[in-house]
Chain A
């Protein structure tokens, strides 16, 4: 899910930049990044985006205010994406626990960026899902579209 994007940033050949004695450790870290890091990113993506969608449709929308307007929906989407990006950037670093040299060179930023983009997509899908299947339970069933 992330690999194709990281490969655009040279993730496939990432280990080749290290000296022979470091390479084995780099391969081990790359594997850790691919597994633990990816799962962390997915967890952040799902957790934050779904939380923000739920907050928007079931909490924010039920507060007095014209919160069904499209700009509020877009606002929540942006906040959600930024949160996902920032948390991915920092938390993946924590969960993969890289040594100093890897911490500088590991693709945390590309991972955060793609997770941010995925967050937009997931936010839209979740919104459409709520509008399609749970419209009787929200005050914003027409944002962004009426289904």
Chain B
């Protein structure tokens, strides 16, 4: 059952007749969706489209899967679909059934059980074929944590997925578009993308299909010596990606646009199949730009000659400041810095007992919607994902994203007592970190307070049938935008 919120249908929403179906395949797909959710929450808009995510991950107990599901559920509560403001792009999702992989029979079976290899007699042609195509490890290992970097396993399972009842009922309508997101160097994304793209094109040849593919941007360390799990070898990530790209280059009929993202700087994560949870990375943020690019492209512009795309950063520095990020990321950065400013205001204003905007909402700040907003921005629980954690991870990752001044976020890397990111908003801040002309001057958050209150005063004169949290977000975004746009303009001079 889809649980789209329709508390306030606006003209803009009525125009959003088309859906961008997003298949997030495997861990990398989930991480890009996580970046997209953060951008959409920050007011980033994919015009004309509502987003419908499908999580495709056999690793049902994955931490990232539960974090992303939780984020979608929170976004869903906060989305209000006005023309302006944070959370304005609708995300339509079946909250209780986000992971469509449950429609297959994967569960925690081994691959051998899944394909019924036990039923083949030893020495039979079927048995020999299986032995030729799959290692003993492939056959015996449980698929409960995914395909462990083995696309040959995943490709069989995905055939089962595209024949499933769920997939049979999946039918994009006219003008809908489909985008598939995943990595080429793992198992799930590498095998899922071609299988699902082919199946969708067979179902509806007119549907435009895009692919966002990640090539290596992180590495895995050596597994512990006594570890039973050592199937994934990150040293061959590049080779696997190259082979996959070659395949796509030779079989380019199932998609209309292909975006590739990767990085030469790589953070090395501990080898942990059970709970691999990578930190947010600028590559995932950059990849999120592709959704907008693909969705806003005219059908006539999606031609074979424009099929391959790359988005690059301007400089090859280990830490990227505002000026290093390239023009393509500027819109995303301005949205994120707006929402970061808002996050500061939201937490600071609760101490300002005479602030009219605060008093105007004081009576409803403990309602569920506002608690959800609070949790979306910042949660101390390290098991939960939040915007502040996202910004902190972007900043601490390799390559580091340092375009926005996030000095209010205390990183666990800098404080051994912490096991999570801590948010300590102060009234002073820089908006952007720049290379040219030194740092953007120190400012006080009070300009935002004033402008938010101005827009709040204006909103009191309007009669809008929107929820309190919607009105709150609207006024806040309007005020913050007014101040920050001036600062961006000043910075560009």
Using a CB–CB cutoff of 8 Å, the interface residues on chain A facing chain B are 61-66, 68-70, 135-144, 146
B461 within 8 Å of A (CB atoms): yes
A66 to B457, CA, bound (A): 16
Question: Are the CB atoms of A138 and B457 closer together than 8 Å?
Answer: yes
Chain B: minimal CB distance from A55 (Å):
16
**Is the beta-carbon distance between B446 and A141 smaller than 8 angstroms?**
no
Q: List, sorted by A's number, 19 A–B pairs whose CB atoms are closer than 8 Å.
A: A61-B450, A63-B450, A64-B444, A64-B447, A65-B444, A65-B446, A68-B354, A68-B355, A68-B453, A69-B352, A135-B457, A135-B460, A136-B457, A137-B457, A138-B457, A139-B450, A140-B356, A141-B356, A142-B355
Q: Does any Cβ of A come within 8 Å of B369's Cβ?
A: no
Q: Which residue of B lies closest to A66 (CB)?
A: B446
Contact status A142-B457, CB under 8 Å = no
Cβ of B461 and Cβ of A136 under 8 Å apart?
yes
* Interchain residue pairs A-B with the least CB separation, the first 10: A64-B447, A142-B359, A141-B356, A64-B446, A142-B356, A139-B453, A68-B354, A136-B460, A65-B446, A142-B354
Contact A139:B457 (CB < 8 A) given known A64-B444, A64-B446, A65-B446: yes
Residues of the A chain whose Cβ atoms lie less than 8 Å from the Cβ of B457: 135-139, 141
Which residues does chain A contribute within 8 Å of B75, judged by CB atoms? none
Given contacts A62-B454, A136-B461, A141-B356, 9 further A-B contacts (CB under 8 A): A64-B450, A66-B352, A68-B453, A69-B354, A135-B356, A135-B460, A136-B457, A142-B355, A146-B356
B461 CB → nearest A CB, Å: 6
In the bound complex, what is the Cα–Cα distance between A61 and B446 (angstroms)? 11
In the bound complex, residues from chain A placing their C-beta under 8 Å from that of B427 are 66
With a cutoff of 8 Å between Cβ atoms, the chain B residues found around residue A143 in the complex are: 354
Complex: chain A residue closest to B427, CB-CB: A66
- B449 on the interface (CB 8 Å rule)? yes
A90 to B250 Cα, complex, angstroms = 95
> Would A66 and B449 count as touching, CB distance under 8 A?
yes
Q: Please report B residues at the A interface, Cβ cutoff 8 Å.
A: 352, 354-356, 359, 427, 444, 446-447, 449-450, 453-454, 457, 460-461
**Chain A residues with CB under 8 A of B453:** 68, 139
In the docked arrangement, what's the CA distance between A135 and B461, Å? 11
Q: A135 to chain B: which residues have CB within 8 Å?
A: 356, 457, 460
Cβ contact within 8 Å between B446 and A139: no
Report A-chain residues with C-beta under 8 Å of the C-beta of B352.
66, 68-69
A52 to B163, CA, bound (A): 76
Q: How far is the CB of B347 from chain A (nearest CB, A)?
A: 14
Measured between C-beta atoms, what is the minimum distance from A103 to chain B in Å?
45
In the complex, what distance in Å separates the CA atom of A141 from the CA atom of B450?
12
CB-contact partner of A139 in B444, B454, B460, B461, under 8 A: B454
Min C-beta distance of A12 to chain B, whole Å: 45
Known: A68-B354, A70-B354. A146 touches B359 (CB 8 A): yes
A63 to B451 CA separation, bound complex (whole angstroms)? 10
Minimal Cβ-Cβ distance residue in A for B358: A142
Inter-chain CA distance A70–B38, complex, in Å, is: 37
Chain B residues closer than 8 Å to A61, beta-carbon distance: 450
B359 surroundings in chain A (CB, below 8 A): 142, 146
Q: In whole angstroms, what is the CA distance A136 to B453 when docked?
A: 10
Contact partners of B446 in chain A: CB under 8 A: 64-66
A139, closest chain B residue (CB): B453
B368–chain A nearest beta-carbon distance, Å: 24
Nearest CB of chain B from residue A102's CB, rounded to whole Å: 47
**A143 closest partner in B (C-beta):** B354
User: Closest approach, in angstroms, between the C-beta of A72 and any C-beta of chain B?
Assistant: 9
**A-chain residues with CB within 8 Å of residue B450 when the two chains form the complex:** 61-65, 139
Minimum C-beta distance from B203 to chain A (A):
55
CA distance A146 to B453 in the complex (A): 15
Point out which of B352, B356, B446, B453 has the most chain A C-beta atoms below 10 A from its C-beta.
B356
Closest chain B residue, CB of each to CB of A137? B457
CA distance A108 to B356 in the complex (A): 41
Which residues of A lie under 8 Å from residue B444 when comparing CB positions?
64-65
Closest B residue to A73 using CB positions: B354
How far does the alpha carbon of A54 sit from the alpha carbon of B444 in the complex, in Å? 25
A146 to B236, CA, bound (A): 65
Q: Select from chain B the residue with minimum beta-carbon distance to A140.
A: B356
Closest residue of chain B to A61 (Cβ to Cβ) is B450
Taking CB as reference atom, which chain A residue is nearest B451?
A64
Q: Report the minimal beta-carbon distance from B475 to chain A, rounded to whole angstroms.
A: 13
CB distance from B346 to the nearest CB of A (A): 15
With a cutoff of 8 Å between Cβ atoms, the chain B residues found around residue A136 in the complex are: 457, 460-461
Q: Which residues on A sit within 8 Å (CB–CB) of B460?
A: 135-136
A77 to chain B, nearest CB (A): 14
> Measured between C-beta atoms, what is the minimum distance from A81 to chain B in Å?
21
Instruction: A136 to B356: give the CA distance in the assembly, Å.
Output: 10
Q: Could you tell me the distance between the alpha carbons of A65 and B352 in the complex, rounded to whole angstroms?
A: 12
